[in-house]
Structure 1
Amino acid sequence: MKINGFILSLLSAILLAYFFPTALSRLPLPLIINIGIGLIFFFYGLKMAPAELKQGFFNYPSHFLIQGTTFILFPFITLAFFPFFEGGTESDLWLAIFFLGVLPSTVSSSVVMVAIAKGNLPTAIFNASISGLIGILATPLLLSIFLSDSGKFEFLDVVLKLVFQIVLPLCAGLLLQRFFGNIALKYSKSLGLFDKAVIVLIVYSSFSNSFNSNLFATVGVLDLVKLFAIVIVLFFLVYGMMSYICRILGFSLKDTITVKFCGTKKSLVHGSVMVKIIFGSSASVGLFLLPIMLYHILQLLLVSVFAENYRQKWLKQSNPAIVED
């Protein structure tokens, strides 16, 4: 299941949820998803490489800028868009955008793209890994600013759920890494397919609940267009600001690539898991997933192009005789 295959699977899951919302009703889907979430982070713990994390640990300026962008700048920028929605900060559509803004960065795709672009790989590995851990506290804490008064959000309850479904399996994976870490790395691609399968199930389950409750009947075409436009603006605004800040601070090209690629990414895996843990089987879960899915597709397509452009620049610098076909 390559990138395009995964995107097609996500879109197919939404279509299946629309036309056949009860297709998997005989299965204990919530139990399967909960077990799947635990296994995702258990395998993630098995695959974490302490040596590589240690290698990228001391690049403090890049770390502060990447994590500051992910959990401070990104959410702050989303505040500029609440006037565009009726209800302001109480609008579910804007809250879905804010939820996107407070998510951690991706892990695998950030590292892969930085590797293609010849950026600072140890720094990318460190930040991609640590971002998910910071997000376990930062994401619900930032969400509580706007959701704590609704009566549907209890910060401590959410953190406890995240600890049981994410932190404990992750720690178990880390503890067992010395015994099974090599096996996990050997079958990394297969485990990646498992991760994607669980995400597809979460997407199907979430959207089937939303369609059953006619949630999207209240969302107009104009709202969807605004949502998509804001997602595009968010990406390019953050990407451009990262370029400017890196230039002002005198970052090297390798660090600039890493900051731009890691700082602009948002994790569909963490988003899908957290939205399910935080909001459960609420009908609004599908709506909260929509900006994340749109942003995920956009970031993969654009950053792939940017990474290839950087790779070509490195090739020309190392061998000026290279002529493009």
Structure 2
Amino acid sequence: MRILRLDPMMVKLLIVVLLATFLPAKGGFVPFFEWLTTAAIALLFFMHGAKLSREKIIAGSSHWRLHLWIMFSTFVLFPILGLLLVWWHPVNLSNEIYTGFIYLCILPATVQSAIAFTSMAGGNVAAAVCSASASSLLGVFISPLLVNLVMNIHSEMPGNGLEQIGRIMLQLLVPFVLGHLSRRWIGGWVERHRSLIGKTDQASILLVVYSAFSEAVVNGIWHRVGIITLLWILAGSVLLLAIVLIVNLLAARLFGFKRADEITILFCGSKKSLANGVPMANILFPAAAVGIIVLPLMVFHQVQLMVCSFIAQRYKKKNEAELQASESTGKAMMESQK
């Protein structure tokens, strides 16, 4: 069944985690990988900035009610649910795991998969491009502020909050802005080599994950995280996604959005970005804790792809059935008029 398939990126992430488990970076390789990881993060966000098209954003920016709700879902609803999960504390898991769930909840939406699923389901693609791109851009500003606010509430924010935000601005925002400002010169090349850019994105993320899990393995992550913990993380991810999808679906119908906009709200308002989350965690948290903290994000990433793929297929079949019924009705009317 298609819904049970792992996406290629998730398979690569699992391979990298296994590699870090059996062959972690140690000794003199650690400073080298720290430098390489910093460079990879800068390149990743430079490319994100270069890919951001102002024309596409302007094309879908007029639908302010839809965008406002998606931003509410991403940066308000999700963080509230994360805090409620920690307050509820249903299972005796480590503080790093619960921190990981809160961290997951404050991240911006993913771009590529949100747009792809919206297109597959017959949604408002222009609005999806606008919302997903705006979420990714605003996330560079909003997520660090939410980390400072929410993590302080949770008493898990390491170090000086303003210092952490400054590091994020320097390592993420500056390359992002430089990439976007460079678009007038490299925009054509970026458009022609989108597949190469995508591979660069993946390579950067995989490098950061390897570096993070190497440090975590050296500090005994697998002595603290077993199969039962992973199953609870999976259950928490499914519960979190289910609540967000249901709330977004009810809101879309309550506010009278058309089906195309409803689809956009579902897929853009329920996603969380692995591409933004892993590099940002590498800056925000102590190296020994990053591997555990990003586990909920990695599991949620796979869950959202599987569930949203199923939902998109359902919408697609429904649209095709309605189109076929409409064509049959039209033919019947034409024959009756003869």
Shorter-chain TM-score above 0.5: yes
| 1:84 has 2:90 as partner | yes
| 1:307 has 2:312 as partner | yes
Give, in whole Å, the separation in 1 of the partners of 2:246 and 2:313: 18
Q: 1:19 aligns with which of 9, 12, 22?
A: 22
Give, in whole Å, the separation in 2 of the partners of 1:107 and 1:24: 37
Q: 1:146 to 1:167 in 2, by over 3 A?
A: closer
Contact 1:74 1:102 in 2 (8 A): yes
User: 2:295 corresponds to which residue?
Assistant: 290
Secondary structure, aligned partner of 2:168 = helix
Q: 2:112 aligns with which of 98, 108, 125?
A: 108
Shift of 1:231: 0.5
Contact 1:85 1:94 in 2 (8 A): no
Secondary structure, aligned partner of 2:271 = coil
For structure 1, which segment, 159-168 or 67-76, has the greater mean C-alpha deviation from structure 2 after superposition?
159-168
| 1:44 has 2:60 as partner | no
Q: 2:144 aligns with which of 140, 148, 153?
A: 140
Q: Percent same amino acid among aligned pairs?
A: 29
Q: 1:194 aligns with which of 197, 200, 219?
A: 200
Secondary structure, aligned partner of 1:319 = helix
Give, in whole Å, the separation in 1 of the partners of 2:69 and 2:209: 32
Give, in whole Å, the separation in 1 of the partners of 2:194 and 2:120: 19
Give unpaired runs (5+ residues) of structure 2: 329-338
Contact 1:136 1:159 in 2 (8 A): no
Alignment deviations for residues 37-86 of structure 1 (CA, whole Å, 9 cap, x no partner): 11112122222211110011111111111010111111111223222244
Give, in whole Å, the separation in 1 of the partners of 2:308 and 2:193: 26
The aligned amino acid for 1:195 is D
Q: 1:212 to 1:225 in 2, by over 3 A?
A: same
Contact 2:106 2:147 in 1 (8 A): yes
Shift of 1:151: 6.8
Q: 1:51 to 1:24 in 2, by over 3 A?
A: farther
Shift of 1:145: 3.3
Give, in whole Å, the separation in 1 of the partners of 2:313 and 2:254: 25
Alignment deviations for residues 14-33 of structure 1 (CA, whole Å, 9 cap, x no partner): 11111111379637111111
For the aligned residue pairs, the C-alpha RMSD in angstroms reads: 2.2
Alignment deviations for residues 232-253 of structure 1 (CA, whole Å, 9 cap, x no partner): 1011111011111111111100
The aligned amino acid for 2:11 is L
User: 2:281 corresponds to which residue?
Assistant: 275
Give, in whole Å, the separation in 1 of the partners of 2:183 and 2:164: 28
Contact 1:147 1:153 in 2 (8 A): no
Shift of 1:294: 0.4
Give, in whole Å, the separation in 1 of the partners of 2:313 and 2:157: 47
Shift of 1:202: 1.0
Q: Which has the larger radius of gyration?
A: 2
Contact 1:85 1:93 in 2 (8 A): no
User: 1:212 corresponds to which residue?
Assistant: 218
Shift of 1:146: 4.9
**Number of residue pairs aligned between Structure 1 and Structure 2:** 318
Q: 2:63 aligns with which of 54, 59, 65?
A: 59
Normalization by structure 2: what TM-score?
Answer: 0.88
Q: 1:232 aligns with which of 238, 251, 261?
A: 238
The aligned amino acid for 1:40 is L
Secondary structure, aligned partner of 1:106 = coil
Give unpaired runs (5+ residues) of structure 1: none
Secondary structure, aligned partner of 1:223 = helix
The aligned amino acid for 2:211 is S
Q: 1:160 aligns with which of 160, 166, 169?
A: 166
Q: 1:151 to 1:49 in 2, by over 3 A?
A: closer
Normalization by structure 1: what TM-score?
Answer: 0.91
The aligned amino acid for 1:20 is L
User: 1:253 corresponds to which residue?
Assistant: 259
Shift of 1:3: 7.2
Shift of 1:106: 0.2
Contact 2:75 2:108 in 1 (8 A): yes
Q: 1:142 to 1:305 in 2, by over 3 A?
A: same
Secondary structure, aligned partner of 2:288 = coil
Secondary structure, aligned partner of 1:126 = helix
Secondary structure, aligned partner of 1:84 = coil
For structure 1, which segment, 231-240 or 271-280, has the greater mean C-alpha deviation from structure 2 after superposition?
271-280
Give, in whole Å, the separation in 2 of the partners of 1:153 and 1:147: 11
Contact 2:107 2:139 in 1 (8 A): yes
For structure 1, which segment, 111-120 or 20-29, has the greater mean C-alpha deviation from structure 2 after superposition?
20-29
Q: 2:8 aligns with which of 5, 9, 18?
A: 5
